[in-house]
Structure formats: structure tokens, C-alpha cells
Amino acid sequence: MTRNYQSGVVAEANKDAIFLIFNRKHEAEADARIRQLLARLWAQLEQLRQQWPEAGLHLTAAIGSAYWDQLYPQARPTLLRSFPALENGVRVAPATPQDLLFIVRADQHDACFELAQSIREQISPAAELVEEIHGFRYKDMRDMTGFVDGTENPQGEDRLEVALVGDEDPTFAGGSYLHLQRYEHDLDAWSRLPVKEQEDAYGRTKVDNIEYPSEQKSPHAHTKRTSLKRSDGSSMEILRQSMPYGDTARKGLMFVSCCRTPEHFELMLKSMVEGDEEGRADRILEFTRAVTGAAFFAPSPDWLQQQG
């Protein structure tokens, strides 16, 4: 099956991003306005790409799991469900459901700003802005902890295979299950760790980004907790579209998981927060805390245009 899909879901990383999160207003025409906006955004995106041909402008538009049935009651992605809230001591993954998510990405901030500003102006009669976060590329694709982010991402055509729904749900082929978390880092505590302890927490070297052999990883290592396999030995993969954010006072990561099923993210999160069968959880979560968590679905542009 040929899949039409949102390029922002699978495109390679950009230098700049703006995350816009909205909740629907209680207005009579709000849902109709939002459907119309989601239908016409793709033509606007193409116009802006022509204005900034070198910017690599991409957009991801996604609808929250709790809002979906109100906005599109006629059909629902088969596996769309709420965010799995988890807590284990200092390790937490709260659920903070939201209605709409727009991720604008580009290699030029002015292109990002233009599209993000337009989205906000168009949607403001129907939805209220909950949070706006500006992300950016940090050094050579590193998280603010100093480690390279997204090392395990699939490459080439595998990105589409991992991120996009296929024939298993033909109505929503080309769509993607998206999970968003905003993490706030405690970099003061992190920086007090010797580099070797930081590397052990990740299961990867810091400067040259070499992963430890499996037998040398701590059961608490981040790469151990997130490298999950099925019973047949195949890997459970997600496509990460995460970006650092922050200023001189606050630093963190906008974590974005895109996948053809929500199961992979849910199991990874459970492995990080609750740990393995002996309760050995992710040490990274001692130094960073999720403050938001929401589940969305990003349908194909064709599907959104048909509903508008």
C-alpha cells in the first residue's frame, strides 16, 4: 500500500523546532474550525517551503487520544489510547493529556517562526495555547547531559517501516502514534558525577559515543532499559524526534516517540521507570524528571484533508 504521511514524522533531524500544544476551547464551532485548519495546513506548508527552499521546513500535526473521538467521531486509529502514567520513587512519568500538538521543524528559525505564528493565529479562535517550547540542536546532536541523542534511530527506509502505520490499519495507513514528554534535567547533580559514572548510567561513552558491549552494561543503564526485544529476538524500535530546549536557568529534553504501534514506547517507558523483573530501573531518571506526558496520533495529510 502506498502511504501518504506527514514528513515531520520521519524526516531527519533539524537545527530548530517549535512545539505548540493546545486545548480546545468550549465554543460551538471549535471542532469544525480545527478540522478545517488541519485540512488546509499542508497547502500552506508547501507555500512556505517555496519561500524558504533551503530551510528544510517540516510539520507534524497530531490529535490527543482523549480529544480524538470528539474531533473525528467517525473513525479512530485502532491502537490509540491514553498515556501510561507510571511512578516508582523518584522515577515518574505523569500523564498530562492535551488536545492538539504541532511540531514545526527547520534549519532556519525564521521559517519555524513563520509557520508556528500562522498556526497560532489561525487556531486561536478555537483552541487555547497550553505550552510553547523552542527546541534547538545542541552541538553534534547531543542532549544537554552531553551525550549524543537518538543513536539507536532507524535509518533510511527503515524509518518509515518503524514510524508509520501500514496495512494493519488501512484507514490510517501512513499515520503514526506519537508520545510526547517534556523532561527537566538536574544538570547540577549530573555534573557532579564523574564522567565514568555518567557513561555507566547511559551504557555508552561520552565523547566518542561508543556503546558498551552488552555484558559490560549495568542493568540500570539507559541503553539496557530501552533496548527491548520480542520473543523472536527482533528489536522493538521507535523513531525518536527529540530536541533539547531551555535557557540559562532551565534545561531539558522534549522527548518525541513516533511508531506504528504505541506498544514499543509503553514497554520502554515501563522498563525505564519500573525496571526489569528485579526492579532495576533506569539510572538516568535520577537526574531528569518528566513533567508532562501525552499520547497523540498524527494522521496522513490526505486523511486530514478528506475530513476538512
Active site residues: 149
- What's the sign of the alpha-carbon dihedral 185, 131, 150, 68? positive
Distance CA 52, CA 8 (A): 16
Rg for the chain (alpha carbons), in Å?
A: 19
DSSP code string of 139-204: TTTB-TTSSBS-TT---TTHHHHHHS--TTSGGGTT-EEEEEEEEEE-HHHHHTS-HHHHHHHHTB
Distance CA(207)–CA(205), nearest Å, equals 6
Beta bridge partners of 102: 20, 61
Q: Exposed (0-12), middle (13-18) or buried (19+): which is 305, by Cβ within 10 Å?
A: middle
Neighbours of 287 (CB within 10 A): 20
Contact 264, 295 (CB under 8 A): no
Nearest by Cα to 191 from 138, 265, 114, 251: 251
Q: Within 13 A of 64's CA, how many CA atoms are on the CB side? A: 20
Torsion sign, CA atoms 103, 108, 113, 119: negative
